[in-house]
């Protein structure tokens, strides 16, 4: 089968498309013919191998040892999100059948930048939402689940206000939709000029263009500040939080310490939901929202797998709107 292969850590140019052995599903797995996948910041981070400890985590998740991946990647094929058709099922699989159209996330295992990937039946995989294309289905899972993991403990509800920083990215577009349409909160979104209309269409009541205004200096305060791109800090946001407010981080290991510290001292808290939980229940909930017209995918660009280098370069500009999709198998 064809796959986008990464044999060394480095820039996008280390990627190349090659022939690799087709995987064989275990008893509890399904074999998915991948029709579409995404390139996201997780893929880029592990491909770069930076910061250095990422290599230890990459190795641990893929082969169970934190040290084998120090010099080179232990998993040659990146990609976590996918949508496609089930090609074969393991002997104990009962929830899926050959020919089913599915979508999901291959958590900690990667491998979706390929024509075929094996996925555990009990993992975050479900039948594709009715009416969604493979590209749309592949583009929703990771951002939605990470945003839901973050917002669930934030006590959002009607009458409460949330600011979503980085509102036009994968996690940000999911966060705006969930906060406004599911939790019923009043949403202020922060993004750049080109994405203002997109973010408004997702449910934001107000949009701040960060190229013109700094939300930390306008005197407004919020019950929740959701940093969907990991570029802020609790210190910078603290004065923009109301009493009892919460700063929700999606990146920055300093927040591992700040979370427990602020839970004991002060009335403004840091929430850093790690490790993220990817569950079949969340995926089924997302499927229902999409089919009810209450959640929609946001896709910036679509590339064929043969252009994975160009797709990765674009993701690394940190200017993508929503998601970048790879089309893989055809026919």
> What pLDDT is attached to residue 152?
93
Same domain, 20 and 82: yes
Q: Are 84 and 36 in contact (CB under 8 A)?
A: yes
Residue 283 counted as domain residue: no
Same domain, 109 and 147: no
**For residue 80, is pLDDT > 70?**
yes
User: In the predicted model, what is the mean pLDDT of residues 255-262?
Assistant: 74
Number of domains forming the structure of the chain: 2
Residue 276 counted as domain residue: no
Residue 6 counted as domain residue: yes
87 is written with which tokens?
């090609």
Same domain, 122 and 148: no
State the greatest distance between any 2 C-alpha atoms of the chain, in Å, as a whole number.
61
Same domain, 197 and 111: no
Range of the domain at 170: 143-271
User: Which tens digits make up the pLDDT trace of 229-258?
Assistant: 999 999 999 999 999 999 999 887 777 777
User: In the predicted model, what is the mean pLDDT of residues 282-286?
Assistant: 97
Same domain, 128 and 203: no
Residue 117: which CATH number? 3.90.180.10
Same domain, 148 and 50: no
**Within 10 A of 305 (CB to CB), how many other CB atoms are there?**
21
Residue 41 counted as domain residue: yes
> What pLDDT is attached to residue 272?
87
Residue 186 counted as domain residue: yes
Same domain, 92 and 197: no
Same domain, 158 and 218: yes
Q: How far is CA 170 from the centre of its chain?
A: 6
**For residue 305, is pLDDT > 70?**
yes
Residue 60 counted as domain residue: yes
Same domain, 6 and 131: yes
Residue 291 counted as domain residue: no
Half-sphere exposure of 222 (CA within 13 A, CB side): 29
SS (H, E, C) the chain: CEEEEECCCCCHHHEEEEECCCCCCCCCEEEEEEEEEEECHHHHHHHHCCCCHHHHHHHHHHHCCCCCCCCCCCCCECCCEEEEEEEEECCCCCCCCCCCEEEEECCCCCCCCECEEEEECCCCEEECCCCCCHHHHHCCHHHHHHHHHHHHHHCCCCCCEEEEECCCCHHHHHHHHHHHHHCCCEEEEEECHHHHHHHHHCCCCEEEECCCCCHHHCCCCEEEEEECCCCCCHHHHHHHEEEEEEEEECCCCHHHHHHHHHHHCCCCEEECCCCCCCCHHHHHHHHHHHHCCCCCCCEEEEEEHHHHHHHHHHHCCCCCCCEEEEECCCC
Same domain, 178 and 125: no
**CA-atom Rg of the chain in angstroms:** 20
Same domain, 252 and 165: yes
User: Which tens digits make up the pLDDT trace of 30-57?
Assistant: 999 999 999 999 899 889 987 776 777 6
Residue 196: which CATH number? 3.40.50.720
Same domain, 64 and 186: no
**For residue 113, is pLDDT > 90?**
yes
Residue 113 counted as domain residue: yes
> What pLDDT is attached to residue 64?
65
> What pLDDT is attached to residue 273?
84
């Amino acid at each position: 089968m064809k796959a986008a292969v990464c044999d060394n850590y480095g820039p996008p140019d280390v990627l190349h498309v090659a022939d690799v052995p087709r995987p064989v599903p275990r008893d509890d797995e399904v074999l998915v013919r991948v029709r579409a996948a995404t390139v996201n910041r997780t893929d880029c981070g592990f491909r770069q191998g930076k910061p250095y400890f990422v290599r230890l985590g990459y190795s641990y998740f893929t082969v169970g040892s934190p040290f084998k991946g120090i010099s080179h990647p232990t998993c040659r094929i990146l990609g976590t999100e996918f949508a496609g058709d089930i090609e074969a099922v393991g002997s104990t699989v009962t929830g899926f059948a050959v020919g089913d159209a599915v979508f999901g996330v291959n958590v900690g295992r990667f491998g979706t930048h390929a024509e075929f990937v094996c996925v555990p039946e009990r993992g975050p995989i479900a039948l594709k939402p009715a009416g969604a294309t493979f590209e749309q289905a592949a583009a929703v899972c990771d951002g939605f689940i990470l945003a839901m993991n973050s917002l669930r403990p934030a006590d959002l509800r009607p009458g409460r206000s949330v600011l979503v920083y980085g509102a036009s990215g994968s996690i940000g577009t999911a966060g705006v939709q969930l906060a406004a349409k599911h939790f019923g909160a009043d949403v202020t979104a922060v993004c750049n000029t080109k994405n203002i209309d997109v973010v408004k269409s997702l449910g934001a009541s107000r949009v701040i263009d960060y190229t013109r205004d700094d939300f930390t200096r306008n005197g407004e305060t919020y019950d929740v500040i959701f940093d969907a791109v990991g570029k802020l800090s609790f210190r910078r946001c603290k004065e923009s939080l109301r009493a009892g407010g919460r700063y929700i981080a999606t990146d920055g290991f300093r927040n591992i310490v700040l979370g427990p510290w602020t839970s004991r001292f002060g009335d403004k808290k840091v929430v850093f939901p790690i490790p993220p939980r990817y569950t079949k229940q969340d995926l089924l909930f997302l499927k229902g929202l999409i089919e009810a017209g209450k959640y929609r995918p946001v896709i910036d660009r679509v590339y064929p797998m043969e252009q994975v280098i160009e797709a990765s370069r674009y993701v690394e500009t940190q200017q993508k709107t929503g998601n970048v999709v790879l089309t893989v198998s055809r026919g």
